[in-house]
Amino acid sequence: MTRRREHLPTRPTWRCAACGIAWPCSPAKLRLLGEYRHDRAALTVYLATLQAEAAEELAAIDQAPPPTDLTNRFLTWTRPPA
């Protein structure tokens, strides 16, 4: 039996363990939106905390993107549709 890898971040690179792209990847975003569907504010707080951790860890390995890139990657997509 093959075990499926979950779409979770690997540290310190903050790439998806399952698909290798920048985390949160699309499957991770869908899972998070489902888990926090009744509390979007909590999702935002959770991801803001992870964004701060990612910024620190990426800087430590000299891979820090501009802060606006991390904001788009971690937070912008959590806004409810207008």
Structure tokens that stand for 55 in this block: 């910024």
Tell me the average pLDDT across 51-77. Answer: 95
Query: Which pLDDT band holds residue 3 (cuts at 50, 70, 90)?
Result: low
Which pTM was predicted? 0.89
What pLDDT, on the 0 to 100 scale, is given for residue 60?
A: 96
d(C-alpha 74, C-alpha 58), whole Å:
14
What pLDDT, on the 0 to 100 scale, is given for residue 80?
A: 80
Higher confidence at residue 43 or residue 5?
43
What pLDDT, on the 0 to 100 scale, is given for residue 82?
A: 72
**9 and 36 in contact (C-beta within 8 Å)?**
no
Q: Which residues pair with 10 in a beta bridge?
A: 15
How many residues would you count in the chain? Answer: 82
**Residue ranges per structural domain of the chain:** 9-78
Place of tokens 């912008």: 76
